[in-house]
């Protein structure tokens, strides 16, 4: 390619910084008009300086208002719903992260936003040469096709064979992974049956109907005396005593052997791990279906007028369908559960996750009389598109018979963005948050103790990076990092080489009760965790770290009280000073308004609200 394009407009896309620097070295540094660049990944100062030296002007990423965000959400939701028409009878499709629209697992909305932004910039900006750095490979094919259709020359600086090589790598890796997991889960099933088999046979009565509670078990699900306390459903299992025979059907997310030992010693509940109901034939059958079912969108999938089926197919291929084998196994585990007991009611947490859909598909097929209740147990940020069912998904996707929410506010959010039959969603209570309802406001303090609350997603390292860059070494401030049980601190430490030994004012929570860490803190900084609401409920100010996603991950996106927002370019110290300088009168007013909002978000459990789980 000539150094200077002969076309009126030319778009050059670089996968890596190395290729960008190599290309820039060939360009003249003389004054050239019409050179611009757009970054989708952070590049070094050297690369940015070189771009500037070659007279490329940076195009800032657009900031979008709520109207645009709402429109984006609805277009994305409709696009995925249209895909479901093609694969409505496929277990594999319903098991994909793409079909579930999981905000942590599926990157499709991010890639659609990249495509839309790059297309708009390429079409609308005034330039001769446009450099784009670091977009997702899944967007490249459609971007090339779209720009060439409007006579914009397109060049992609990547490995020409990378798609083929990546495809082979992903397929081989996933196949080996499935074989490994087949062995892993079979060994777990043998161990579970060895520990629990005689008890299951003795205590399960196939002639009786059960209220099955599908939940999750952590190490801390068992108290010191060995009694079980459900992390997600709180006092509900106890409430069911004497009303209906109940059974806990659980995924073990803590230490498997340790939790299984506690389950075997727990006399107050019948607890069945998912693996205890798996057999070798069922695991092998799942593996074969998982590996050999083809999923490819062959219809037009419209998104703001563009056919984005290429992006969705590229992402299905890149992630080898985006199915987690353990989630897929829930279908066979639930099928085997139904063979053992009569399931009158089946209660599960509702986030429209793949494992939920597998459970529901098995129930619909093998126990159609069972009543399925989905419990929206946590927060509903705008990015929770998985919670908003529209169009064809409403009639085709595996859904509960009813959804119960933690309060009125979450019901309103779901109905704002979703399309549901009247009465399908009903507000109940926040079972996970019982301990908060009688807690008084904590006294206001100067902001010195900062709690950084993380969720179970590795992407939240960006909030750690931000806070450490802003506050480490600052006298008078102490930062405590609280990780999620799913992604503990050692994982972050290994992945990102954090060395806190050189940061005397930074520590990691030692596993205290969450409430203790919130009490310790003067302020909480968060991205998308429920900890923000728990802190706000006792009068602690909170700061949302906005990473710039097109859809908000903030569970308090509808709340403007006692909450502030920072971006990575903002001064955290300046924001803390702003909050400290707020008058006591204004602070109290914001605190009271925040409390009123939370009272609508979470309702306290009562006999009336708990009764709705039994109706």
pLDDT at 3: 43
Return the CATH number at 506: 3.40.50.2000
Closest by Cα among 315, 418, 427, 409 to 598: 409
- Measure the CA–CA gap between 100 and 523, rounded to whole angstroms: 34
- Measure the CA–CA gap between 533 and 376, rounded to whole angstroms: 16
DSSP 276-315: GG--HHHHHHHHHHHHH------S--EETTEE-HHHHHHH
Query: 356-360, 391-395, 427-431, 599-603: lowest mean pLDDT where?
Result: 391-395
Instruction: Please give the order of strands across the beta sheet that includes 506-508.
Output: 506-508, 478-482, 449-453, 523-526, 542-545, 563-566
Q: Does residue 182 fall inside a structural domain?
A: no
Q: Does residue 500 fall inside a structural domain?
A: yes
Q: Are the CB atoms for 498 and 465 separated by under 8 Å?
A: no
Q: Are the CB atoms for 472 and 506 separated by under 8 Å?
A: yes
Q: 408 Cβ partners below 8 Å, 6+ apart?
A: 427, 600, 601, 603
Assign 148 to helix, strand or coil. helix
Closest by Cα among 548, 608, 574, 589 to 41: 548
Q: What angle do CA 541, 543, 544 make, to 5 degrees?
A: 140
Tell me how far apart the 2 most distant CA atoms of the chain are, in Å.
Answer: 85
Q: What angle do CA 121, 124, 80 make, to 5 degrees?
A: 55
Q: How many CB atoms lie within 10 A of CB 446?
A: 11
Split at pLDDT 50, 70, 90, the class of 513 is confident
Q: Does residue 453 fall inside a structural domain?
A: yes
Query: 108-112, 343-347, 481-485, 509-513: lowest mean pLDDT where?
Result: 509-513
Domain boundary among 161, 189, 209: 161
Q: Does residue 482 fall inside a structural domain?
A: yes
Domain boundary among 161, 193, 209: 161
Residue 525 belongs to what H/E stretch? strand 523-526
Split at pLDDT 50, 70, 90, the class of 583 is very high
Q: Does residue 312 fall inside a structural domain?
A: no
Q: Does residue 111 fall inside a structural domain?
A: yes
Cα–Cα separations (whole angstroms), residue 144 to 141, 154, 219, 317: 5, 6, 50, 19
Query: 272-276, 408-412, 485-489, 525-529: lowest mean pLDDT where?
Result: 485-489
Torsion of CA 212, 213, 217, 223, to 10 degrees: -100
For residue range 415-439, list pLDDT tens digits in order: 999 999 999 999 999 998 887 788 8
- Percent over 90 (pLDDT), the chain: 72
Domain boundary among 161, 189, 205: 161
Beta-sheet pairing, 306-307 with 302-303: antiparallel
For residue range 439-493, list pLDDT tens digits in order: 899 999 999 999 999 988 888 899 999 999 999 888 899 999 999 888 888 888 8
- The terminus-to-terminus CA distance of the chain in angstroms comes to 70
DSSP 563-610: EEEE-TTS-HHHHHHHHHTS-HHHHHHHHHHHHHHHHHHSPPP-HHHH
Q: Does residue 607 fall inside a structural domain?
A: no
Residues in the chain: 615
Question: Mean pLDDT of all residues in the chain?
Answer: 91
Q: How many CB atoms lie within 10 A of CB 163?
A: 16
Q: Does residue 87 fall inside a structural domain?
A: no
Split at pLDDT 50, 70, 90, the class of 29 is confident
Residue 556 is part of which domain span? 449-601
The mean pLDDT value for 361-386 works out to: 96
For residue range 33-85, list pLDDT tens digits in order: 889 999 998 899 999 999 999 999 999 887 788 899 999 999 999 999 999 99
The mean pLDDT value for 23-38 works out to: 86
Split at pLDDT 50, 70, 90, the class of 164 is low
Closest by Cα among 311, 299, 301, 260 to 113: 311
For residue range 207-221, list pLDDT tens digits in order: 889 999 999 999 889
Tally of structural domains, the chain = 2
DSSP 315-383: HHHHTGGGB-HHHHHHHHHHHHHHHHSEEEEEEEE-S--HHHHHHHHHHHHH-TT-EEEEEE-S---TT
- Plot region of 322 (φ>0 → left; ψ -120 to 50 → alpha; else → beta): left
Selected residue with higher pLDDT from 485 and 376: 376
Selected residue with higher pLDDT from 500 and 575: 575
Q: pTM of this prediction?
A: 0.90
Q: 220 Cβ partners below 8 Å, 6+ apart?
A: 231, 254
Phi, psi dihedrals of residue 5, rounded to the nearest 5°: -70, 150
Q: SS3 sequence, 531-564?
A: HHHHHHHCCCCEEEECCCCCCCCCCCCCCCCCEE
Split at pLDDT 50, 70, 90, the class of 162 is low
């Amino acid at each position: 390619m000539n150094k200077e394009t002969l076309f009126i407009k030319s778009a050059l896309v670089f996968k890596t910084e190395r290729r960008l620097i190599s290309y820039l070295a060939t360009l003249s540094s003389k004054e050239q008009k019409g050179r611009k660049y757009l970054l989708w990944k952070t590049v070094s100062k050297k690369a940015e300086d070189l771009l500037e030296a070659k007279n490329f002007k940076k195009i800032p990423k657009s900031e979008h208002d709520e109207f645009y965000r709402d429109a984006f959400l609805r277009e994305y939701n409709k696009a995925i719903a249209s895909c479901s028409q093609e694969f409505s009878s496929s277990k594999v499709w319903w098991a994909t992260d793409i079909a579930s629209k999981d905000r942590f697992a599926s990157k499709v909305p991010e890639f659609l936003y990249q495509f839309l932004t790059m297309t708009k910039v390429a079409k609308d900006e005034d330039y001769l040469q446009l450099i784009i750095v670091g977009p997702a490979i899944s967007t490249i094919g459609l971007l090339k096709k779209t720009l060439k259709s409007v006579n914009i020359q397109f060049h992609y600086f990547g490995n020409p064979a990378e798609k083929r090589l990546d495809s082979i790598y992903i397929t081989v890796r996933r196949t080996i992974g499935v074989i490994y997991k087949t062995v892993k889960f079979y060994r777990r099933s043998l161990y579970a049956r060895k520990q629990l088999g005689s008890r299951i046979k003795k205590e399960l009565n196939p002639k009786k109907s059960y209220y099955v509670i599908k939940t999750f078990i952590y190490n801390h699900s068992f108290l010191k005396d060995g009694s079980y306390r459900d992390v997600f459903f709180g006092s509900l299992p106890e409430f069911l005593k004497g009303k209906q025979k109940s059974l806990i059907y659980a995924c073990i997310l803590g230490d498997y052997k340790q939790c299984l030992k506690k389950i075997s010693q727990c006399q107050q509940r019948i607890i069945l791990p998912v693996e205890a109901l798996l057999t070798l034939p069922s695991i092998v059958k799942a593996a074969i279906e998982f590996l050999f079912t083809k999923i490819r969108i062959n219809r037009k999938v419209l998104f703001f007028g563009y056919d984005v089926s290429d992006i969705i197919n590229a992402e299905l291929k890149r992630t080898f369908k985006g199915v987690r084998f353990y989630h897929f196994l829930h279908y066979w585990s639930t099928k085997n559960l139904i063979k053992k007991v009569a399931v009158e009611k089946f209660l599960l947490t509702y986030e429209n996750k793949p494992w939920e859909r597998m459970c529901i598909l098995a129930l619909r097929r093998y126990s159609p009389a069972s009543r399925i209740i989905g419990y929206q147990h946590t927060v509903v940020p705008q990015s929770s598109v998985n919670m908003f069912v529209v169009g064809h998904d409403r009639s085709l996707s595996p859904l509960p018979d009813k959804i119960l929410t933690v309060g009125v506010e979450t019901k309103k959010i779901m109905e704002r963005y979703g399309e549901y039959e009247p009465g399908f969603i009903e507000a109940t209570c926040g079972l996970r948050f019982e301990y908060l309802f009688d807690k008084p406001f904590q006294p206001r303090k100067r902001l010195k103790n900062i709690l950084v609350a993380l969720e179970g997603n590795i992407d939240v390292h960006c909030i750690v990076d931000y806070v450490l860059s802003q506050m480490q070494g600052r006298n008078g401030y102490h930062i405590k990092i609280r990780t999620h049980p799913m992604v503990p601190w050692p994982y972050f430490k290994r992945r990102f080489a954090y060395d806190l030994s050189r940061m005397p004012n930074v520590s990691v929570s030692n596993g205290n009760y969450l409430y203790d860490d919130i009490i310790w803190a003067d302020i909480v900084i968060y991205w998308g965790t429920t900890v923000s609401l728990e802190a706000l409920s006792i009068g602690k100010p909170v700061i949302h770290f906005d990473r710039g996603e097109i859809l908000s991950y903030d569970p308090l996106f509808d709340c403007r009280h006692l909450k502030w927002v920072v971006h990575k370019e903002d001064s955290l110290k300046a924001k803390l000073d702003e909050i400290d300088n707020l008058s006591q009168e204004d602070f109290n007013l914001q605190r009271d308004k925040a409390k009123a909002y939370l009272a609508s978000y979470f309702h306290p459990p009562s006999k009336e609200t708990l009764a709705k789980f039994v109706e």
